[in-house]
């Protein structure tokens, strides 16, 4: 293996690791020799990812631990356990997040019908749910002056996607936080800690399947609009995110901080014309 892209031996805390995208990234990193700490609310889902890791790579090491990303105490318990087990945290991937139906403006409604409580909830999960784990797991990285933090953005962070008002605001916040923290920690760690984000385009998963596909597998109107706007003419596959995460955790990106790596089949580049 070329050491330029090596993640071997890195202890990587991954939030939302029971989910479609972060779970797939966790499996890949484990196969590459990293030690993923699988964090999420549902221990059963995390155990399933852990057993997929072990059956694909019997020598792989991983640690499933449940915690809510909005519960600081639970995150601190996870941190204590990880430090006891491995003595360090090398990287953090903030994968917990997603849209919530209440914070969405459906076609028959207007912005003025928005439920402020649902709006706050989606901001909390995606933005506070990125900031809090970064505070907790970033602390040992800060003490060691080395580490890599990678957040999940979305194409909705920079472009107006109809309906998803709360999610878009939250992901814009995640991008801004990525840049802010990259500068702050770069100065304080002499470049030892890097903070970046990955912006996935559209990947089919449990959260958006009903919005983008019908029960017979055909595309909904929204699904068709997205595919028309994606020059590659298809949704992404989770495995197509692996390289971006591996790059941002590896020595190949040693001078890269405050950036957003876009993995969207051309969605953001295309004017639609």
Ligand X SMILES: NC(=O)c1ccc[n+]([C@@H]2O[C@H](COP(=O)([O-])OP(=O)(O)OC[C@H]3O[C@@H](n4cnc5c(N)ncnc54)[C@H](O)[C@@H]3O)[C@@H](O)[C@H]2O)c1
- Both tokens of 58, joined, read 């019997």
One DSSP character per residue, 138-192 reads HHHHHHHT-EEEEEE--GGGTS--SS-HHHHHHHHHHHHHHHHHHHHHHHHTTT-
95 contributes a contact to ligand X by CB under 6 A: yes
Choice among 119, 167, 177, 202 that is catalytic: 167
Q: Which of 40, 140, 166, 173 binds ligand X (CB under 6 A)?
A: 40
Please count the residues of this chain forming the interface with ligand X, following the rule CB under 6 A: 29
Distance CA 265, CA 48 (A): 29
Q: How many CA atoms lie within 13 A of 72 on its CB side?
A: 8
Catalytic (active site) residue 167: yes
Q: Which of 125, 127, 141, 193 binds ligand X (CB under 6 A)?
A: 125
Contact of 66 with 77, CB cutoff 8 Å: no
**Residue 253 CB coordination number (10 Å):** 20
Window 177-206: residues binding ligand X (CB under 6 A): 200, 202-203, 205-206
Q: How many CA atoms lie within 13 A of 129 on its CB side?
A: 28
Q: Nearest distance from residue 191's CB to ligand X, in Å?
A: 27
21 contributes a contact to ligand X by CB under 6 A: yes
93 contributes a contact to ligand X by CB under 6 A: no
**Binding-residue pattern over the window 96 to 115 for ligand X, x denoting contact by CB under 6 A:** xxx-----------------
Distance CA 249, CA 25 (A): 12
**Residue 200 CB coordination number (10 Å):** 21
Q: Which of 43, 48, 61, 70 binds ligand X (CB under 6 A)?
A: 70
- Both tokens of 252, joined, read 């190949």
Q: Which of 7, 13, 22, 93 binds ligand X (CB under 6 A)?
A: 22
Q: Nearest distance from residue 251's CB to ligand X, in Å?
A: 25
Closer by beta carbon to ligand X, 48 or else 105? 48
Closer by beta carbon to ligand X, 45 or else 194? 45
18 contributes a contact to ligand X by CB under 6 A: yes
* Contacts (Cβ under 8 Å, ≥6 apart) of 38: 14, 17, 18, 23, 26, 46, 49, 50, 62, 63, 64, 65
19 contributes a contact to ligand X by CB under 6 A: yes
Closer by beta carbon to ligand X, 79 or else 87? 79
Contact of 257 with 196, CB cutoff 8 Å: yes
Would you tell me which residues interact with ligand X (CB under 6 A)? 15-16, 18-22, 40-42, 45, 68-70, 95-98, 125, 129, 152, 154, 200, 202-203, 205-208
Question: Which positions are catalytic?
Answer: 167
């Amino acid at each position: 293996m070329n050491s330029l892209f090596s993640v071997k031996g890195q202890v990587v805390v991954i939030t939302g690791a029971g989910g479609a995208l972060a779970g797939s990234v966790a499996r890949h990193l484990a196969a590459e020799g990293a030690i993923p700490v699988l964090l999420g609310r549902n221990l059963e889902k995390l155990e399933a990812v852990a057993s997929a890791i072990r059956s694909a790579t019997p020598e792989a090491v991983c640690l499933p631990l449940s915690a809510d990303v909005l519960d600081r105490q639970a995150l601190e318990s996870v941190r204590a356990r990880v430090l006891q087990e491995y003595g360090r945290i090398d990287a953090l991937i903030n994968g917990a997040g997603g849209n919530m139906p209440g914070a969405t403006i459906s076609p028959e409604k207007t912005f003025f019908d928005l439920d402020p409580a649902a709006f706050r909830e989606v901001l909390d999960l995606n933005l506070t749910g990125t900031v809090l784990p970064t505070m907790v797991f970033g602390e040992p990285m800060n003490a060691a002056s080395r580490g890599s933090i990678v957040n999940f953005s979305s194409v909705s962070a920079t472009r107006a996607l109809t309906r998803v008002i709360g999610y878009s605001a939250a992901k814009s916040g995640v991008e801004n936080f990525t840049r802010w923290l990259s500068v702050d920690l770069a100065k304080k760690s002499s470049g030892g800690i890097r903070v970046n984000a990955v912006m996935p385009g559209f990947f089919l998963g449990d959260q958006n399947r009903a919005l983008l596909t019908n029960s017979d597998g055909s595309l909904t109107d929204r699904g068709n609009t997205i595919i028309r706007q994606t020059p590659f003419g298809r949704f992404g596959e989770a495995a197509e995110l692996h390289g971006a995460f591996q790059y941002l955790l590896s020595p190949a990106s040693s001078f890269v901080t405050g950036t957003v790596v876009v993995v969207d089949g051309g969605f953001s580049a295309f004017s639609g014309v």
